[in-house]
């Protein structure tokens, strides 16, 4: 007997999703555990797993269609079997009704912020970047490509592509930039890769590098040319969720801001020494490559040990003090921003945090994060240092009481302990605090503890 596969609940706040791409088509054989489609939720675009064996008899929702949680997606049964009848019009009507309810609720003020869902919202900067003094040449030291906040990019910019199509393109050696996407919103899907392979599209030949060759210039845009194609841009479910949660955060949480400048030279020296000895070894031989962000996450965890009052949440008539550190960090993806969570960071070594961070970043970029891996944080770190941003202040990620914003490490003149002007390496760090939970003295104490750990980074190794 044919079995109907229903739309699962992919996040704790999800009521309706957008079916972005079918990974299997009608008539294909499927097995339990196969990924059959991609669905965009309010948090991310995720693959949906099949829990039946047989043949996909019928797809009840077209690509680009909205589908409520619990609604029929497709039917799986034996070849030649008649699929169950489903009112597809009712599915569309229910989806439209739910989206209207969500829109109406967004227009209403939040009366009880303490009842906000515990799923963390992406931590976005408020635009409060600190201006650099004019006439002073400063050099920033960028984070490497494995920095936690760096988005996955192709050579031509961000490319919308399904995981299956990406894997297929890599196997066939076809650059994504050379493929024209025919999926929703220009997304590259499997058939686009197969078509490109049939037409003989290949990766461009790499030019030998020469030391005298100038760096590739940015794409030339003639003067007077339009900035971009004019017109409305469809708002994704993720962008809607980001907008809703950040407006909620800024309008219901009394933010205040603190900043500190850290001497990053000891941290950079220790990182270089460790990577010099271990980065070329195989993982089974203890090999590892640490990023600046790994040190920041570990140092933040140690600072929260010393000042636990920052690791708390406002509950309306009480303050919830958390007994463990569940550290969220921002990862930019083509559709927006996600915040995976390192569980029990307080119980993990620098090496363990580094390994787990890389795994979560890879999952985020491949759209493999589970709802559990994006929920339950107690503190958030957002890092824009790899972009050269000197400093900024993030918007608090409810139900956290604070968010740490990390800027670039910049070479600039500083006065040493002997009163001499020397070249220093300074990292700007901002802290946004919920004044209902954290007072100014507590926030300052936390930043002082963080500074002490970052400027004596060997403390993280014991």
| Shared-domain flag, residues 405 and 293 | yes
Q: Which of 103, 106, 94 is nearest to 67 (CA)?
A: 94
User: Which comes out higher in pLDDT, residue 313 or 152?
Assistant: 313
- 428 shares a domain with 344: yes
Residue 131 located in a structural domain: no
**CA–CA separation, 334 and 337 (whole Å):** 8
Per-residue pLDDT, averaged over 207-221, amounts to 45
Q: Tell me which of 102, 135, 168 is where a domain ends.
A: 102
51 with 164, same domain: the answer is no
In a domain, 171, yes or no: yes
Residue 383 scores a pLDDT above 90:
yes
Q: Tens of pLDDT along 327-340?
A: 999 998 877 889 99
Domain match, 174 and 282 both = no
**Closest of 417, 404, 386, 382 to residue 453, by C-alpha:** 404
pLDDT at 122: 44
Say whether both 365 and 273 belong to one domain. Answer: yes
CATH classification of the domain holding 346 = 3.30.559.10
pLDDT value at 218 more than 70? no
| 188-216: average pLDDT | 61
* Co-location of 358 and 452 in the same domain: yes
Q: Is 424 exposed, middle or buried (0-12, 13-18, 19+ CB in 10 A)?
A: middle
If you average pLDDT over each of 25-39, 183-197, 259-273, which comes out highest? Answer: 259-273
Backbone angles phi, psi at 19, to 5 degrees: -75, 105
Query: What band does 424 get if pLDDT is binned at 50, 70 and 90?
Result: very high
| Residues forming beta bridges with residue 422, ordered by sequence position | 414
Q: Is the pLDDT reported for residue 141 higher than 50? A: yes
Same domain, yes or no: 7 and 92: yes
Q: What is the pLDDT of residue 43?
A: 73
- Alpha carbons 43 and 284: distance in angstroms, whole number: 35
The reply to whether 218 falls in a domain is: no
Instruction: Write the DSSP string, 157-176.
Output: B---B-HHHHHHHHHHT--G
State residue 107's pLDDT score. Answer: 54
| 293 lies in the same domain as 187 | no
Residue 204 lies in a domain: no
Range of the domain at 371: 254-461
Question: Are residues 368 and 437 part of one domain?
Answer: yes
162-180: pLDDT as tens digits: 767 777 787 777 888 788 8
| pLDDT of res. 108 | 54
Element (DSSP H or E) covering residue 426: strand 421-434
Q: Is the pLDDT of residue 153 over 60?
A: no
Asked whether residue 353 carries a pLDDT value surpassing 80, the answer given is yes
Domain boundary among 102, 136, 167: 102
Reported in sequence order, the residue ranges of 148-275 that DSSP labels E, i.e. its strands, are: 255-263
The residues that bridge with 409 in the sheet, in sequence order, are: 141, 427
Helix (H) or strand (E) holding 461, with range, is none
DSSP per residue, 7-51: PP--STT-SEEEEEEESS-TT-EE-TT-EEEEEE-SS-EEEEE--
Same domain, 178 and 283: no
Question: In degrees rounded to 5, what are phi and psi of residue 361?
Answer: -65, -45
Residue 49, pLDDT > 80, answer yes
In angstroms and rounded to an integer, the radius of gyration of the C-alpha atoms of the chain is 25
Q: What is the mean pLDDT of the chain?
A: 82
Does residue 246 fall inside a structural domain? no
The domain that holds 23 is classified in CATH as 2.40.50.100
CATH number at residue 167: 4.10.320.10
Domain count, the chain: 3
Same domain as 443, residue 349: yes
What is the C-alpha separation between 365 and 221, in angstroms, rounded?
Answer: 29
Better-scored residue on pLDDT, 174 or 320: 320
Q: How confident is the model at residue 11 (pLDDT cuts 50, 70, 90)?
A: confident
For residue 83, being part of any structural domain is answered with yes
Q: Is residue 93 part of a domain?
A: yes
pLDDT higher than 70, residue 184: no
- Dihedral of the alpha carbons of 384, 387, 392, 396, in degrees to the nearest 10: -30
- pLDDT of amino acid 327: 97
Model pLDDT, residue 308: 96
Active site residues: 435
Is 462's pLDDT higher than 90? no
Map tokens 């463990």 to a residue: 324
Cα–Cα distance for residue pair 375/41, rounded to 1 Å: 14
Is the pLDDT confidence value at 315 over 70? yes
Q: Where is the domain boundary, 174, 198, 222?
A: 198
Is residue 141 domain-resident? Answer: no
């Amino acid at each position: 007997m044919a079995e109907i596969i229903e739309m699962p609940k992919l996040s704790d706040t999800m009521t309706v999703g957008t079916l972005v791409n079918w990974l299997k088509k009608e008539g294909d054989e499927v097995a339990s555990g196969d990924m059959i489609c991609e669905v965009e939720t309010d948090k991310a675009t995720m693959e949906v797993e099949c829990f039946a064996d047989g043949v996909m008899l019928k797809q009840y929702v077209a690509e680009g269609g909205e589908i409520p949680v619990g609604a029929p997606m497709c039917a799986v049964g034996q070849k030649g079997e008649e699929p169950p009848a489903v009112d597809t019009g009712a599915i569309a009507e229910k989806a439209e009704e739910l989206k209207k309810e969500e829109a109406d609720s967004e227009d209403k003020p939040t009366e009880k912020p303490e009842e906000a869902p515990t799923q963390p919202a992406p931590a976005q900067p408020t635009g409060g970047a600190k201006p650099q003094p004019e006439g002073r040449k400063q050099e920033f030291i960028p984070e490497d490509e494995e920095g936690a906040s760096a988005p996955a990019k192709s050579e031509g910019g961000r490319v919308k592509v399904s995981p299956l199509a990406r894997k297929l393109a890599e196997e066939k050696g076809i650059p994504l930039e050379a493929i024209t996407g025919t999926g929703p919103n220009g997304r590259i899907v499997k058939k686009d890769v197969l078509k490109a392979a049939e037409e003989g599209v290949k990766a461009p030949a790499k030019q030998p590098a020469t030391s005298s060759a100038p760096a590739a210039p940015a794409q030339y845009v003639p003067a007077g040319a339009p900035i971009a194609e004019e017109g409305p841009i469809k708002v994704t479910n993720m962008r809607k969720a980001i907008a809703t949660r950040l407006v909620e955060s800024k309008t219901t949480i009394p933010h205040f801001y603190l900043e500190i400048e850290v001497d990053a030279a000891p941290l950079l020296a220790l990182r270089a020494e460790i990577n010099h000895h271990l980065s070329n070894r195989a993982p089974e031989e203890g090999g590892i490559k640490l990023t600046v962000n790994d040190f920041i996450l570990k140092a933040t965890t140690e600072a929260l040990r010393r000042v636990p009052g920052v690791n708390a949440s406002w509950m309306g008539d009480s303050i919830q003090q958390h007994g463990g550190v569940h550290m969220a960090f921002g990862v930019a993806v083509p559709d927006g921003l996600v915040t995976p969570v390192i569980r029990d960071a307080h119980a993990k070594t620098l090496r363990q945090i580094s390994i787990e961070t890389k795994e979560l970043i890879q999952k985020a970029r491949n759209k493999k994060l589970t709802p559990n891996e994006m929920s339950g944080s107690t503190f958030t770190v957002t890092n824009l240092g790899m972009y050269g941003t000197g400093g900024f202040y993030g918007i608090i990620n409810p139900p956290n009481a604070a968010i740490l914003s990390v800027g670039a490490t910049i070479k600039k003149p500083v006065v040493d302990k002997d009163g001499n002007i020397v070249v220093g390496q300074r990292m700007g760090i901002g802290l946004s605090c919920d004044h209902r939970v954290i007072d100014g003295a507590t926030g300052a104490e936390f930043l002082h503890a963080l500074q002490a750990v970052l400027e004596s980074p060997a403390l993280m190794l014991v």
